[in-house]
């Protein structure tokens, strides 16, 4: 493979930046991938509030890429489309997969190591541990610094856009050591007892325990806001559990603590041989391939660490729990992309700069990586002297891109996961119960046609 002489600078080695580097690097383009973690800067400026390692594509929240069902689920469809585009993130997920029923979950350490190794093996991709404080004044650039963009670079972006970045809070769920879970109280089942696999640990609560736990969430000592954070909204898809608890007595029981379909085998009697349904459950999902670490599903929290340990050890089966990681809270920032970016993710005021990943206002691991994938393909097309044609809006990638770059209402723009609400409606003749399959079948056809036209040849 020959290498294009013009170097492309990618700032940020998260999922989006790593995917963009892969898409460009495997096509023969010269890439400089700057990642501040691991730079050992004075004053500790090489860390964020959420990261724990300096590995590329570190997963800082859940270890799940959500549903892998590509026949009736929008994010599963996005998985399929990215695989068709030879996504590095999807390759790494396959290598690092751990049991999670119909979801795609990974061992986060194996996943990150695979991404870094694959990029390091591309001779035309240079990984540099450095912090970039200002936007480059020239040269093709992709900014994929994510929701935790360093303050100095965020200021530079603000100066270039002429607008304040929007912000919201993102919360992280705790991780428990499996050997400290009491399986004489807990039991294994699929999520809400759907399917034949038993991939989740279930911790049961009766009504009295649930109400006491909810009150503990409301009363527990929480991370204090800084003055400038007081009006910053939460992203609905990663809502702290205590914020959900405050919305009503039964909110948790219809959300992450939903007990529907989960018969407790430890409560079995001759009359109820399968057991009794608990009033609420706390579910744990495998977080690493060894099965030694399990995360508390939906338990993102801003409780202080001491309060977390005290309260979460009141959960039946977790009385002696040891935590590999406690929950946390960090601030996410993103651009008002419908105003600031063109249809190719380029900054309208500085067209040599593209943005990718969560900083554009998409939400979720897979969505972030997908936008990085498209940014890499766009840059490769531009540098090859070819006109870029976006994926059809009927595809998951096209729908997400359209939302970010113009379909969304700028005045109310908020982070968004991929969902069928972003897609054009299928034919009116399609029955409602068949609609999701109609979305995915149409998307797969249209993506195949688009890929047939848009495959970008390696540079000569």
- Residue 4 or residue 6, greater confidence: 6
Are both 325 and 357 inside the same structural domain? no
Binding-site members for FAD are 12-17
SS3 content of the chain, % helix, strand, coil (to 5): 40, 20, 45
CATH number at residue 201: 2.40.30
Are both 241 and 323 inside the same structural domain? yes
Query: Per the domain annotation, does 460 fall within a domain?
Result: no
Are both 203 and 327 inside the same structural domain? yes
Are both 65 and 148 inside the same structural domain? yes
Tens-digit pLDDT profile for residues 155-164: 899 889 876 6
Residue with tokens 């959300």: 255
Are both 368 and 233 inside the same structural domain? no
Strand partners of residue 171: 329
- The average pLDDT across 206-216 equals 96
Four-residue CA torsion sign, 81, 339, 420, 297:
positive
Are both 327 and 217 inside the same structural domain? yes
Query: Per the domain annotation, does 61 fall within a domain?
Result: yes
CB 180 within 8 A of CB 294: no
Query: Per the domain annotation, does 138 fall within a domain?
Result: yes
Residue 230 binned pLDDT confidence (cut-offs 50, 70, 90): low
Q: What is the Cα–Cα distance from 28 to 22, expressed in whole angstroms?
A: 10
Strand partners of residue 170: 330
pLDDT at 129: 95
Binding-site members are 12-17
Q: What is the Cα–Cα distance from 310 to 216, expressed in whole angstroms?
A: 9
pLDDT above 90 (res 459): no
Residue 458 binned pLDDT confidence (cut-offs 50, 70, 90): very low
- Closest to 416 measured CA to CA, from 299, 348, 353, 336: 336
Are both 201 and 92 inside the same structural domain? no
pLDDT at 83: 98
Last residue of a domain, one of 301, 331, 361: 331
Are both 139 and 15 inside the same structural domain? yes
Last residue of a domain, one of 331, 362, 388: 331
Which residue range(s) make up the domain with 112?
Answer: 4-165+335-454
Are both 321 and 202 inside the same structural domain? yes
Tens-digit pLDDT profile for residues 316-349: 999 999 998 899 887 778 899 999 999 999 999 9
Tens-digit pLDDT profile for residues 86-119: 999 999 999 999 999 999 999 999 999 999 999 9
Helix (H, G, I), strand (E, B) or coil at 441: helix
Query: Per the domain annotation, does 10 fall within a domain?
Result: yes
CATH number at residue 161: 3.50.50.60
453: number of Cβ within 10 Å = 7
Rg of the chain in Å (alpha carbons): 23
Are both 210 and 114 inside the same structural domain? no
Query: Per the domain annotation, does 88 fall within a domain?
Result: yes
Q: What is the Cα–Cα distance from 147 to 169, expressed in whole angstroms?
A: 10
Q: How far is the CA of 76 from the CAs of 67, 91, 188, 430, 436, in angstroms?
A: 5, 15, 25, 21, 12
Are both 153 and 36 inside the same structural domain? yes
Tens-digit pLDDT profile for residues 177-195: 999 999 999 999 987 767 6
Query: Per the domain annotation, does 459 fall within a domain?
Result: no
Are both 319 and 363 inside the same structural domain? no
How many domains does one find in the chain? Answer: 2
Query: Per the domain annotation, does 449 fall within a domain?
Result: yes
Q: What is the Cα–Cα distance from 320 to 179, expressed in whole angstroms?
A: 10
DSSP characters over 319-365: TT--EEE--EEEEEEE--HHHHB-TTSEETTEEEEEE-GGGGTB-SH
Query: Per the domain annotation, does 241 fall within a domain?
Result: yes
Last residue of a domain, one of 311, 331, 351: 331
- Closest to 21 measured CA to CA, from 454, 137, 46, 13: 13
- Closest to 130 measured CA to CA, from 251, 9, 255: 9
pLDDT above 50 (res 81): yes
């Amino acid at each position: 493979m020959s290498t294009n002489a013009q170097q492309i600078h990618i700032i940020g080695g998260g999922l989006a930046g790593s995917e963009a580097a892969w898409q460009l690097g495997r096509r023969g383009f010269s890439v400089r991938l700057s990642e501040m973690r691991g730079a050992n800067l004075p004053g500790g400026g090489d860390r964020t509030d959420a990261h724990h390692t300096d590995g590329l594509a570190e997963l800082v929240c859940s270890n799940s890429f959500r549903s892998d069902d590509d026949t009736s689920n929008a994010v599963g469809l996005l998985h399929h489309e990215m695989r068709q585009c030879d996504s590095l993130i999807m390759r790494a997920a396959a290598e690092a997969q751990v049991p999670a029923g119909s979801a795609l979950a990974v061992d986060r350490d194996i996943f990150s190591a695979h991404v870094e190794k694959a990029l390091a093996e591309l001779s035309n991709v240079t990984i540099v541990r450095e912090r970039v404080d200002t936007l480059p004044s020239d040269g093709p650039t992709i900014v994929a610094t994510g929701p935790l963009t360093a303050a100095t670079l965020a200021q530079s972006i603000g100066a270039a856009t002429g607008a304040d970045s929007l912000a919201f809070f993102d919360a992280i769920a705790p991780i428990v050591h499996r050997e400290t879970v009491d399986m004489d109280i807990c039991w294994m089942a699929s999520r809400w007892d759907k399917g034949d696999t038993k991939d989740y640990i279930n911790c049961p609560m009766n009504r009295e325990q649930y109400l006491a736990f909810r009150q503990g969430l409301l009363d527990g000592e929480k991370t204090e806001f800084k003055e400038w954070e007081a009006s910053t909204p939460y992203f609905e898809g990663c809502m702290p559990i205590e914020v959900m608890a405050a919305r009503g007595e039964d909110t948790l029981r219809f959300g992450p603590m939903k007990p529907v379909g989960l018969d407790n085998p430890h409560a079995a009697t001759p009359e109820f041989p399968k057991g009794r349904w608990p009033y609420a459950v706390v579910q744990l999902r495998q977080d690493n391939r060894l099965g030694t670490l399990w995360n508390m599903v939906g338990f993102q929290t801003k409780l202080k660490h001491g309060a977390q340990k005290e309260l979460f050890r009141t959960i039946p089966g977790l009385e002696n729990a040891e935590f590999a990681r406690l929950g946390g809270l960090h601030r996410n920032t993103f651009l008002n992309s419908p105003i600031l970016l063109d249809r190719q993710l380029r900054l309208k005021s500085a067209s040599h700069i593209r943005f990718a990943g969560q900083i554009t206002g998409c939400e979720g691991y897979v969505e972030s990586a997908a936008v990085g994938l498209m940014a890499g393909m766009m840059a490769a097309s531009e540098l090859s002297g070819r006109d870029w044609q976006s994926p059809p809006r009927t595809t998951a990638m096209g729908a997400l891109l359209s939302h970010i770059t113009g379909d969304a209402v700028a005045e109310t723009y908020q982070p968004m996961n991929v969902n069928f609400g972003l897609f054009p409606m299928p034919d009116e003749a399609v029955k409602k119960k068949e609609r999701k399959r109609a979305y995915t079948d149409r998307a797969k056809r249209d993506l195949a046609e688009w890929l047939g036209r848009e495959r970008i040849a390696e540079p000569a």
